Amino acid sequence: MRVSKKTRPRSTMLEGPIAKPWARKKDAAGRISYVVTYTMMLVGVAAAFLRCYYGWKSVPMLGNLCLVLEDQFQGTDLDTDNIWMREADMGGFGNGEFEMTTASTNNSFIRNNQLYLLPTLTSSVIGKDAVFDGYTFNLTGCTNTNLTACSAVSNRTAGTVINPVMSARLSTKGKRSIRYGRVEVRAKLPRGDWMWPAIWMLPENNTYGPWPLSGEIDIMESRGNSPDYPAQGINYVRGSLNWGPLTWLNAVAKTYGWWTERRSSYGDAFHLYALEWSDQFLRIYVDNRLHHMLDLRFTIPFFQRGDFPASVSNASQEIILENPWANSGNSAPFDQPFYLILDVAIGGTNGWFPDGAGNKPWLNGALNAMELFAEAQDQWSQTWPQSEDDRAMIVDYVKMWELC
C-alpha cells in the first residue's frame, strides 16, 4: 500500500529557515581572543619550562665523589681504632658549657645498630651534695692536654661545682677528614631544656690560625627546649659558618640560616642532615636540597664578605686589621681538610641560649653560671625524658665523601 504525498508525516527538522553557520561572517574579535588565549597558554608553558630548566642548571652540583667514611653502627661498640675518638673534657670547649664529656659507654654506645649520645646527671654517680661541696672529681681518660680541664673540686665558699651533667662528644679528628665533598648524618635529636645537640666540623690543622681564623662548619645545631621556647626550640635546626680574622671577631651572623618543622619537632623522627661543599659553593640542608639552611656561593673573598673594620683597638693602640686569607682563593678559610664532630652539649655562656628567654636559670656573664645552673637541676631535669630513646641524640648512620 502506497502512502500518498499528502498523508506522509512532515519532518519538523525542516520547518523554518535552515541554519548555515559556515556561511556567517567571521567574528574578528572572537578569532583574535581565541588566538591570544592559546598563544598565552603556550608562552606560559614555555616560560615555566625555561624557568625550571635554568633553575635546575643554576644549582651547583658536586663532581665525582670518593667514599671516606661510612658507619652504619653494626658492631657492639664504636670503632675507636679507625674512625671515632671519644673526647673526654671538663673545660667547656670555649663556650662555657656545663657538661663534662666522658669516654664512658654510659654516655655513648651502640644499641640496635644505632649510635646513642646520652646526657646523664652527675649527681646520679657522685651524689647531689658532692656536686656542690667537698668533692674532687678526676675525669677518666681525659683527652685535653690542659690538666685544668681534666679535674674539678666542688667548694661552696669558692662557688665552684662539679659539672652537673655527663655527656658525649665524638670526633673523627686525626682519622677521617675531607677537603671538599659531602657529609650525611641521619639522626633524631634529644628533647630536654638546655640541651645543645650538634653535628659540625673543625679544621684538621688550623691552617690560618686558632678559631675562628681557620673556620668552623656547623651542619646542624639545635636546642632541646620545647617548641614554645622563644629563641627557637626543638622544632628548629640551624646551619652556619664561623669565621673571622681575630679570635674575638666572628662573622657567623653573615653566614647562617635555619629550617623548621611546623607541626612536629626534630625530636620526633629521624632526619637527614647534609653538607655539600666545593671550592665554588657550600650548601647545608635538612632532608633535601629544597630545605636548605645555608646555600652560599664563593663569589667574593670572605674578608670582603665580612665587611670588617679597617682597624681595631687592642689594649694600648689602634692596629690595622690584616686579611689572614689574602693569599688564598674565595673559599678560604674553608679550603682545607675538616673533620666531623657529633655531640650533645648542655647550656653554656657563649649566647647560644640568650639571657631572658625561657626562664633560663643562669646569666651568661655570671662568674658562677655553672653553679646557678646546677642549683636549678630539679627544674630543668624534669623536662628531660626518662626514656633514653627520647633523651639521647640517636644517629642512624654517618657517611662522608671527598671530591676525587
Residue among 216, 261, 276, 371 flagged as catalytic:
216
Mean pLDDT across the stretch 155-181? 97
Q: Is the pLDDT of residue 369 over 60?
A: yes
| pLDDT confidence tier of residue 5, bands split at 50, 70 and 90 | low
Q: Is residue 46 part of a domain?
A: no
Band of pLDDT at residue 355, cut at 50, 70 and 90: very high
Looking at residue 26, its pLDDT comes to 66
Grid cell of 176 as nine digits:
677521617
Distances (CA, A) of 28 to 20, 99, 359: 19, 81, 73
Q: What is the pTM of this model?
A: 0.88
Q: Does residue 13 sit within a domain?
A: no
CB of 296 within 8 A of CB of 241? yes
pLDDT at 361 over 70: yes
160: pLDDT strictly greater than 60: yes
> Reduced to 3 DSSP states, what percent helix, strand and coil does the chain have, rounded to the nearest 5?
20, 30, 50
Structure confidence at residue 316 (pLDDT)? 77
pLDDT at 269: 97
CATH of the domain at 242: 2.60.120.200
In the chain, the number of structural domains is: 1
Give the pLDDT of residue 7: 58
Name which of 182, 208, 191 is nearest 333 in CA terms. 208
Q: Does residue 30 belong to any structural domain of this protein?
A: no
pLDDT at 35: 81
d(C-alpha 361, C-alpha 371), whole Å: 10
Judge if the upstream peptide bond of residue 333 is cis by omega within 30 degrees of 0.
yes
Domain that holds residue 311: 62-403
Mean pLDDT of 126-132: 98
What is the predicted pLDDT for the residue at 57?
58
Residue 352 belongs to a domain: yes
217 pLDDT exceeds 80? yes
56-60, 195-199, 251-255: which has the minimum mean pLDDT? 56-60
Q: Quick: pLDDT tens for 55-86.
A: 655 678 899 999 999 999 998 999 999 999 99
Is 221 part of the annotated catalytic residue set? yes
253 touches 177 (CB < 8 A): no
Tell me the mean pLDDT in the region 245-267.
Answer: 95
pLDDT for 387 equals: 98
Distances (CA, A) of 206 to 213, 334, 350, 397: 8, 11, 21, 27
pLDDT of res. 124 = 98
What tens digit of pLDDT does each residue of 13-53 get?
556 667 666 666 667 777 788 788 888 888 888 777 777 66
* Mean of per-residue pLDDT scores for the chain: 93
Q: Any idea which of 27-31, 290-294, 390-394 has the lowest mean pLDDT?
A: 27-31
d(CA 386, CA 117): 15
Average pLDDT score over residue span 128-147: 97
Nearest to 102 by CA among 140, 133, 59: 140
Classify residue 10: in a domain, yes or no: no
What is the end-to-end Cα distance of the chain in Å, rounded? 99
Is 54 contained in some domain?
no
**What pLDDT does residue 21 have?**
67
User: From the candidates 221, 261, 276, 402, which is the catalytic residue?
Assistant: 221
Tell me the C-alpha distance between 237 and 403, whole Å: 27
Average pLDDT over residues 212-226: 98
Given this model, what pLDDT does residue 187 score?
98
pLDDT over 80 (residue 215): yes
Residue 62 has a pLDDT of 93
Q: Per-residue pLDDT averaged across 275-291, rounded?
A: 97
Q: Measured between alpha carbons, how far is 318 from 10 in angstroms, rounded to an integer? A: 112
Percentage of the chain modeled with pLDDT above 70: 92
Name all contacts of 307-315 with Cβ < 8 Å and 24+ positions apart.
Answer: 307/254, 308/244, 308/245, 308/249, 308/251, 312/246, 312/249
How many CB atoms are located within 10 Å of the residue 98 CB?
26
CA–CA distances in Å: residue 66 to residues 184, 201, 215, 336? 14, 19, 24, 17
25 in a domain, yes or no?
no
- Is 221's pLDDT higher than 90? yes
